[in-house]
Amino acid sequence: MDHFLYRDGALHAEDVPIAHIAEAVGTPFYIYSTATLLRHYRLFDEALAGTDHLVCYAMKAASNQAILKTLAQAGAGMDVVSGGEYLRAKAAGVPGDKIVFSGVGKTAEEIRTALTGGIRQFNVESEPEMEVINAVALELGVIAPITVRVNPDVDAKTHAKIATGKSENKFGIPIARAPQVYAHAASLPGLKVVGIDVHIGSQLTDLEPFRLAYSKVAELTEQLRAQGHDIRRLDLGGGLGIPYARSNEAPPLPVEYGAMIKETLGHLGCEIEIEPGRLIAGNAGLMVSKVIYVKSGEGRDFLILDGAMNDLIRPAMYDAYHDIVPVIEPAPGVEQRPYDIVGPVCETGDTFAKQRNMPPLRPGDLVAFRSAGAYGAVMASEYNTRPLIPEVLVNGDQFAVIRERPTFDEIINRDTIPEWL
């Protein structure tokens, strides 16, 4: 469910007509619904009711500080994967003891930043990383809390580029080697082992891969405890999918996911951490774009938009599907026709949809890309010297620009020309 609905023939974000925002900020732009962000966070929080738990929003999905602050004020922790994300979370007012640091390539400087500013735990991905965290902790005179990310060799049955739990993926250590790695961690004086971490991929639409992975984690927990390790926290990652194509996708609900966690891991008495990103932010955001031209081609027609692959790269990168709807509701029974929906970037890959049925549209009409709140704005670039597009947050009948569109002068003046030129 989201809070983007037609009212009196016009698409609204909560109580604000989207066309009014377009008039104020120009197109294209991203827009997020506060009510949807909070609803999705609370679904996860309620799904784990009765257990000691923390929902850590995976901020790589959408990392604007206004989004982070909205969720943090509701009680969320944060899952970060870079020093920049760590500092962004801190700037949004998230305390260090509610920030989990994940990622396979943490640098010594990033580790130092987190240990200095406070950290809930590092999710360690390799033994060399473990050695670096230990060395930095000893240098600073502190103890670094860690979990070890284990790779359970479970096929998440998702897109190959977002699967992370198979043996050939770069993430974590093989689960069979976990006892050896935990023994090594226990020998390092700058580390304190607090639990186990696992994450098998993103956009999962079936609970069975989760169940298989979590069952392996339950067995490992008991094995490590028998060997003397104090395993009291289980970080289960994120990955629960959202319905991009509303007609044929029905991912599990957070309440079903929570019940499965309790069934597979509840007997261990561990604190549970989960790191949802896409399900919290995905359907909470739209990208709004304007039709520039309607072009007739050889055997097909094109809708050419002012939004492009640099603004929303998921279709070009993942062949991802997004519902694309007109901002002005078409009349009942209006005849639709197929269009290729494309952007203005000089790449054939700058294609959002092929032969998508749409009602008649004209230059100047607005369209909205649904389920664009996750991995939209954060993956955008300035390719073709196209400015990063604004982000807007709606709260009831109010809206605010939470990231401005830079001017061309601001973009160009970032360059520095050497004196020999």
pLDDT digits (tens, 9 = 90+) for 363-382: 999 999 999 999 999 999 99
Is 270 known to be catalytic?
no
* 8 A C-beta contact, residue 277 and residue 238: yes
pLDDT digits (tens, 9 = 90+) for 203-229: 888 899 899 999 999 999 999 999 999
Cα distance between residue 204 and residue 100, in whole Å: 22
Cα distance between residue 41 and residue 282, in whole Å: 12
Q: Of 274, 302, 322, which one is at a domain's C-terminal end?
A: 274
Residue carrying the six token digits 């499965």: 260
pTM: 0.93
Same domain (yes/no): 318, 341: yes
Q: Of 241, 274, 307, which one is at a domain's C-terminal end?
A: 274
In a domain, 58, yes or no: no
Same domain (yes/no): 258, 292: no
Q: Which of 331, 346, 417, 421 is catalytic?
A: 346
In a domain, 143, yes or no: yes
Task: Summarize the confidence of residues 402-419 as an average pLDDT.
Answer: 97
pLDDT grade, residue 129 (50/70/90)?
A: very high
Supply the pLDDT for residue 108.
98
Q: 3-state SS of the chain: helix, strand, coil percent to 5?
A: 35, 25, 40
Tokens coding 165? 């739990």
79, β-bridge pairs: 58, 100
pLDDT grade, residue 161 (50/70/90)?
A: very low
Does the pLDDT at position 159 exceed 70?
no
Q: For the chain, give me the number of helices (H) and strands (E)?
A: 12, 21
Same domain (yes/no): 246, 296: no
Same domain (yes/no): 136, 251: yes
What is the crossing angle of helices 83-91 and 108-117, to 10°?
Answer: 20
- Which residue from 127, 86, 121, 81 is spatially nearest to 105, judged by alpha carbons? 81
* 8 A C-beta contact, residue 231 and residue 221: yes
CATH number at residue 161: 3.20.20.10
272, β-bridge pairs: 53, 234
* 8 A C-beta contact, residue 215 and residue 264: yes
SS3 179: helix
Cα distance between residue 339 and residue 131, in whole Å: 55
* 8 A C-beta contact, residue 136 and residue 115: yes
* 8 A C-beta contact, residue 375 and residue 30: no
pLDDT digits (tens, 9 = 90+) for 100-117: 999 999 999 999 999 999
Does the pLDDT at position 245 exceed 80?
no
Tokens coding 398? 């109010």
- Which residue from 253, 356, 249 is spatially nearest to 302, judged by alpha carbons? 356
- Full residue range of the structural domain in which residue 212 is found: 103-274
pLDDT digits (tens, 9 = 90+) for 304-316: 999 999 999 999 9
Same domain (yes/no): 267, 368: no
Cα distance between residue 385 and residue 316, in whole Å: 18
Same domain (yes/no): 233, 290: no
Cα distance between residue 334 and residue 91, in whole Å: 49
Domain count, the chain: 2
